[in-house]
Structure 1
Amino acid sequence: MDIGWLESFLALAEHGSFTRAAEAQHVSQPAFSRRIRALESWFGEPLVDRSTYPVGLTPAGVKVRAGAIETVTALGAVRDELRGGRQRAPRGAVRVAVTHTLATTFFAQWWTRCGDPDPAPCVLLPSNTLDAYDALVHGGCDLLLAYADPALPLNVPVAEAEWMVLADDVLAPYTAVTDGRPAFRLPGTAAAPVPVVTHSQAAFLGRVTERVLSGRDKEDLHVLPLAQSDFTSALAAMVRAGMGVGWLPERLVAAELAAGTLQRAGDPSLTARLEIRLYRVPNDKAPARAAAVWRRAAELAADGAPGHSAAPIPPAPVSGSSTR
């Protein structure tokens, strides 16, 4: 058994494509395929259903995926301990999985507001959306902070999780402003298509963008894909540089919007409302500080504090449902 086989298998489960998973791991597709076949040979069972696209997991693959997540996470923790990582981490820290964009745009101010009276020590675990959910369900973190699309529920195993809405955001197309004028406008024309920079459909915000565009005739938009990245901050940098239009969370570009260096590039039909949610899996063994943060976040939401939902929070939310 090679730990790399498990890491490759988890990448394939995430991306649903041998090509994209191999690219994410920076290995050739033939080498990546050999790893998956080697893992299947070790277990003596097919783990991947290659007859579908995106590729799916067989029943055996679903079981192996759950065990692989626990194994990789546990070995990583042992490695960090042996390397002295535990000594560098804050004592009694709350482990918070957070999607990359929210780690830079939302987390710090929200965490400070949840301090009672001082912010709790934390270990921030930036991750993509699906990996973050996996970490929550399998005990790799205490809390999860992530975007959600109310119109597009994710097919992820969070039946035992409960959540609350902390804030709203908007995913919209943005363009740089040059000499007081937008560099691009949507829609383009057949003679002058608008260059766009996009997330892949494997990324959460890519799926939201695809949902928005699915209601439009893409040919009528006349867009020309120019660049793709699953790192939203990289796409934002491309938009700022004038490379094209990109669908970005409004909170990420709030400063540029206020300064007038960016503006929306299309009408409201090209936007999607997002929710920023806090998740947890109720657990009697959860750190007391994690429970305290959850209670404080619920209080702020109930009071309508800035950045929090003003909807009432029931005192004893039902597992598997919103605390909203």
Structure 2
Amino acid sequence: MLPADWPVLIVDLKDCFFTIPLHPDDRPKFAFTINNAKPTQRYQWKVLPQGMRNLPVLCQWYVARALSGVRKQFPDAHVYHYMDDILVAAPIQDELLRIQPQLLNALHSHGLQVAPEKVYRIEPSIDVTVFITTPDLHPTGDLSSANEQIRLLSKSVLDKICNAAEKTFYQIPSPEIKTSYVNIKQFPSENFLQFVDRLRSQVERQVQDPVVQAELIKEMAQRNANETCRRIILSLPLDPSPSLAQMIEACTTRAELFSAPERNPGLTHPKPVAAAAPGARRQLMSSDQLQHIICHHCKRPGHFAKACPENQKRKSKNQKN
């Protein structure tokens, strides 16, 4: 077992197999040739090749031989190694500092390479958060009052507890919410913006990653929209795929056209469908608001695709032809 309060040195050997030399008498046993594009030439491995069954054993033995002198010189230190990973622990930091150069010299003398960025020294430290137990979190015992918590715990620990408690609190679902975000669907008479708000609230409760949240809201908004809004979204250009803001804008501005009742004599009371926010159809957009609109055809701001000048030019050209 590694003592908990001992400083630790970690060393990672670089290309361990390919730095262990083969004895010259054994090199013919590892001969090989290359393809027949030219007269066959015979090559020999000078270092341990990968693929032979007992090579890991040879690697372990060779590294242990390189570490044997360090183990004898510092008998109080704990030296662990497995293949190309070495861990050294010592009772005090000063002894570990004396071990490090001796260890690196022993490895280098056996031809083993150590990358400087793969040498780590871990200082002994006590993280008080490790010792926070269930009774501490339940306000019992020595931490039963807020004053005792302030006196016994550092500010950093209290901040961690508060952040963890706040994060957990927001993950607790409300009593009325008993369904997954997958089952949040837009009602036939619900406007698209209200539907997206309901969907967003449910996704944020069940998913933590903000990037995943945005992708799920966009996908579920398109998949679970009502028939009218789905038709509007499917009419948008596919390359690139529309963003959630573009879906909301399209459903807000084009709902009246897509929700018009079909010519059916037997349909006297068409099914009410709402896609836009109340009153959105009657409001005209100002010039400042239009500057935030990006046309799907020409990719320029200031107008919708329906009023795009490029479409007008194309229509005029077709009429002349």
* TM-score grouping bracket, smaller chain normalisation: under 0.3
TM-score by length of 2: 0.20
Q: Larger radius of gyration, structure 1 or 2? A: 2
Identify which of structures 1 and 2 has the higher relative contact order when contacts are C-alpha pairs closer than 8 Å and 6+ apart. Answer: 1
The structure carrying a bigger strand percent of its residues is 1
